[in-house]
Amino acid sequence: MLRDIRNNYQKYKLEEKGLDNSPLSLFDEWLNQAISEKVVEPTVMVLSTVQQGFPDSRVVLLKELTAEGFVFFTNYRSKKGEQIQNNSNVSLNFFWAEMERQVRVKGIAEKIDSVQSEDYFKTRPRDSQMGACASNQSMEVDSREKLERQFEVCEKKFDGKTIPMPEHWGGYIVKPFEIEFWQGRSSRMHDRILFFQDEGKWRFKRLQP
């Protein structure tokens, strides 16, 4: 039965002692630990946007962490791109099951500089670059065969050539104003530390589980 599935979390704990007012530093520490411990897909995050008052969520990949926030890349004409254009309030959710940890982020999404996007695009595998050129992300297509033909057309067009970054493709940075760190603990008495902006400075408080 689903109701009987449960784990008793007890790997780590999260205490106020030793914390400073720098949630991005703590996130970087947790992320690097997840990578070193070979967590499955450590950079996966659920991005939630708003469409006509309803949340809309999907999995994307974190590609850079800066002093300002969290960077990911996408097609600006996609559903999420349109939704961000209409409402830049977004949330991110990271969950590292192997470490019994979750991080929830609320922030504002902004496009990054096109030069930064192009620098990243050049590092992508050629097939990924081709896919960005061939796919009108989120748009309806008649069949899988038609989608594959679009890819083949791009392959022929750029055969032996550098693939340019599409004008409608690029990065966003999510600048956080609230970050909550959740550490699973035994007896469901989990640790929850919420960092929040107060007059331009980060502060934190403990929440009940």
Q: So which residues are the catalytic ones?
A: 188
Q: In 3-state terms, what secondary structure has residue 126?
A: helix
Report the alpha-carbon distance of residue 197 to residue 109 in Å, rounded.
16
Please report, to the nearest 10 degrees, the dihedral formed by the alpha carbons of residues 94, 99, 100, 102 taken in order: -20
Angle value at C-alpha 129, between 126 and 135, nearest 5 degrees: 135
- Contacts of residue 53, defined as CB under 8 A and 6 or more positions apart, other chains included, come to none
Report the alpha-carbon distance of residue 158 to residue 175 in Å, rounded.
36
Outline where 103-190 has alpha helix (H).
114-121, 126-134, 144-157
- Contacts of residue 159, defined as CB under 8 A and 6 or more positions apart, other chains included, come to none
Cα distance between the two ends of the chain: 25
Number of Cβ within 10 Å of residue 180's Cβ equals: 18
Q: In 3-state terms, what secondary structure has residue 23?
A: helix
Report the alpha-carbon distance of residue 197 to residue 193 in Å, rounded.
13
